[in-house]
Structure 1
Amino acid sequence: MSDSALRIGSADGVELDVLPLGATVQRLVVTGGDGVRRNVVLGHATEQEYLDSTDYLGAVVGRYANRVAEGRFVLDGVEHRLGVNDRGHHLHGGPDGFDRRTWEVVRHDADRVELALVSPDGDQGYPGRLQAWASYAVEGSSVVVDLRARSDAPTLANLTSHAYFALDGDVAGTSVLDHRLRVPAAEWTPIDADAIPLGGEEPVEGTPFDLRGGPRVRDVLGAPHPQLADAGGVDHDYVVTGSGLRTVAEVVSPASRTRLEVRSDRPALQVYTGNNLDGTARSLAGHPLERYAGLALEPQVPPDSPNRPGAPGCVLRPDETWSARIEWHFSAALEDEA
């Protein structure tokens, strides 16, 4: 446990360590279906490693998760220019996003931690003074993440958790390739070489991006498709079926017999298979983080929504409170799942 980590949960149940830096999930220990307790998220051992990284391991990212093309958007007839940090585009809040800020701890008890952050007017180019809150609560075998924001002027809000899951634990050489991933989405968003949407959504039917049946990650990545080749794996947005709080993803590890169900009230889910992990950064246990070491499942609005007519709204106005809920439910995998 890091000196600055805030621990909640219990040593025989779900145990979660959260860092004030980035409101980051550093460690999440659960008991697998095989009876073994494991840390099932990717994290770093020191704050400096987080600051040196561009992988956003476990952080709350914002003000706008994912990409804004060319770092520009128009709101109420006024163009705003944002800081760019990914191939000329704005990614996860910009060069100095929320993942790099030390959040204030406003509550910490046995089963809940809440953190707060103030983002001043003009921060990374965004209008309005924005107040953000992130809370984590352990409830039985689940973790509930609540995100909120308010602003004194019209702005964008699209925060999410960038936790990477690795259900076989923080072990040298492990990967998520044999995890089974189910996403109940009939449509996905093709992207260009800079990971900006090419246009509208397309049906997953007949493509490797059809995750409705819960294929192995290995089989998805091994399928011939130019989008997979260009991105080095999956780094794409899915329009999840339904609305309100619902299941947006399920992950099963046959090896540890561990099952994760992700629920959220966000309209979309970014699925990222850790394509850019290259072994230079190290895990909490000190192992190199190689490609496909973790799986990020990021509930949000679709990428570049501010510039896409008809995309789900992401504008926050002064008389509103923006909110999002993400739930991680852990259980033993059934025999037919494993």
Structure 2
Amino acid sequence: MPVEKSDFRSHANGKQTDLFILQNEQGMKVAITNYGGRIVSWLAPDAEGKYEDIVLGFDSIEGYLNANETYHGALIGQYGNRIADGQFKLNGKEYKLAINDGSNHLHGGPDGFHNVIWEANQLDDTHLVLQYTSEDGEGGYPGNLQIQVQYRLTEDNALEIDYTAVSDQATIVNLTNHAFFNLGGAASGTINDHKLRLNASSYTPIDSTLIPTGKIAPVEGTPFDFIAPTAIGEQLSEENTQLAYGKGYDHNFVLDKERWGQLTQAAKVTDPESGRTMEILTTEPAIQFYGGNFLDGSDTGKEGHPYNHRTAFCLEPQHFPDAPNQPDFPSTVLRPGEIYHSLSVYRFLTSQ
């Protein structure tokens, strides 16, 4: 691994941090820290069987604590993506959340789950369980929320991330993972030549603060059409208000599904040079595609490599951004007696 366990055995927020390595018999290895549930390293084979680390990150806890990009590899919650003006109403009561993205609340706020030290239990070489209880009022959210996240590495080179949660009060939940991928290798340069397919014939347009307008728009005839595999950078130069708002791609795509909760393919990405292909399956209704627009080289990651503009992409299975304020979007409300469940599968293939 390009990271050492000893560099993650430290303390953050007054609690013990550690590194856990999952490995299968095929040779794939995934390193995860209980600091923010972060995927730190992921060794995946190319078409010739050569393994490279395909996620951006840092080689110590200190690297994450000092990073300018807050979300590298992190488990995101309590609410992934943005909530307009950091407020929402539930059961007639208004809740105010921390503002950490312009005028909006993003990814659970500055003290979201990406900064939590999770209780970790590695059951065997391929199975890690993280648990955390978010107390009523934490981050501004109602309810004592008990969360369990399971990471399972399968023999067909897939990482399953299985999220469950229960609450003693009505609350809102939207959990995801924020890994930054480069299938050519974490230090291999631009991802604009990666071929992306999204199983999404529509997306949710945004305003200038990156909050959805409430509309669901077709991708056909726009730079957001990835129904057929398309190079990520192929349409970036088009004049388009939505691309201007996001400084590139930073948008929620509505997945084509027969029913919500169904495990279906959301995305497929291929690096033509290495032959690595990743497909993502999810039970979620949408996926956020982010093209690394705000990476600026100010962070130096593993093995001393700077993380420059558009040298990674994120694909975050999720419910819609700002759903608590958008009555036409699928609900993210979790009520007492209900179980929140979400499953996402990241499977790696190779092709010549």
TM range (shorter): over 0.9
Structure 2 partner of 1:67: 82
CA shift, 1:127, in A, is 0.4
1:162: which partner in 2? 178
Does structure 2 retain, via aligned residues, the 8 Å contact 1:55–1:277? no
Q: C-alpha separation between the residues in 1 aligned to 2:89 and 2:66?
A: 32
In 1, distance between residues paired with 2:49 and 2:242? 38
Whether the 8 Å contact between 1:24 and 1:99 is mirrored in structure 2 is yes
**Are the equivalent residues in 2 in contact too, given 1:14–1:142 (CA < 8 A)?**
no
Structure 1 equivalent of residue 152 of structure 2: 137
Note if contact 1:25-1:163 (Cα within 8 Å) is conserved in structure 2.
yes
Q: Structure 1, residues 216-242: CA drift from partner, whole Å, max 9, x if none?
A: 011032222121123211000000101
Q: How many pairs are equivalent?
A: 333
**1:48 alignment counterpart:** 62
Amino acid at match of 1:149: A
Shift of 1:144: 0.6
Q: Is the 8 A contact 2:127 2:153 kept in 1?
A: yes
Q: Secondary structure at the match of 2:303?
A: coil
Q: Matches of 1:228 and 1:45 in 2, distance apart? A: 33
Shift of 1:56: 0.5
Gaps of 5+ in 2: 7-17
TM-fit CA distance, 1:11: 7.4
Residue in 2 that maps onto 1:190: 205
Contact kept in structure 2, 1:170 and 1:283, CA below 8 Å = no
Q: Distance in 1 between matches of 2:298 and 2:25?
A: 31
Q: Which amino acid aligns with 1:51?
A: L
Provide the residue aligned with 1:121 in structure 2.
Answer: 136
The CA deviation string for residues 121-151 of structure 1, in whole angstroms up to 9 with x for no partner, is 1001000011111111110111111111111
CA contact (8 A) 2:89 2:95 kept: yes
- Distance, in Å, in 2 between the alignment partners of 1:93 and 1:188 is 23
Match of residue 148 from structure 1: 164
Q: What TM-score do the two structures reach when normalised by structure 2?
A: 0.92
Cα separation, 1, equivalents of 2:235 and 2:133: 40
| 3-state SS of 2:289 partner | strand
What residue is the counterpart of 2:325 in the other structure?
Answer: 307
- Who is 2:13 aligned against? none
Distance in 2, matches of 1:286 and 1:150, equals 41
1:17-28 equivalences under 5 Å are: 17-28=31-42
Q: Please show how residues 162-311 of structure 1 align to structure 2 within 5 Å.
A: 162-171=178-187, 174-242=189-257, 243=259, 244-311=262-329
Q: Which runs of 5+ in 1 are unaligned?
A: none
3-state SS in 2 of match to 1:303: coil
Paired letter, 2:72: L
What letter matches 2:180 in structure 1? Y
What amino acid does structure 2 have at the position aligned with 1:170?
Answer: A
Classify the secondary structure of the residue corresponding to 1:49.
Answer: helix
Partner amino acid, structure 1, of 2:320: P
In 1: Cα distance, 2:238 partner to 2:165 partner: 40
Q: Which residue of 2 aligns with 1:32?
A: 46
- In the TM superposition, residue 17 of structure 1 has moved relative to its aligned partner by 0.3
Q: Quote the Cα distance in structure 2 between the aligned partners of 1:51 and 1:127.
A: 27
Checking the alignment, whether the CA contact within 8 Å between 1:45 and 1:286 is kept in structure 2 is no
**Bigger Cα displacement from structure 2, 49-58 vs 192-201:** 49-58
SS of equivalent to 2:221: coil
Q: Secondary structure at the match of 1:323?
A: strand
Q: 2:29 and 2:121 mapped to 1: Cα distance?
A: 20
Alpha-carbon distance between aligned partners in 2 of 1:113 and 1:183, rounded to the nearest angstrom: 29
The equivalent position to 1:14 in structure 2, one of 28, 33, 44, is 28
- Name the SS of the counterpart of 1:220 in structure 2: coil
The DSSP-based 3-state class of the residue aligned with 1:236 is strand
For the Cα contact (< 8 Å) 2:55–2:180, is it kept in 1?
yes
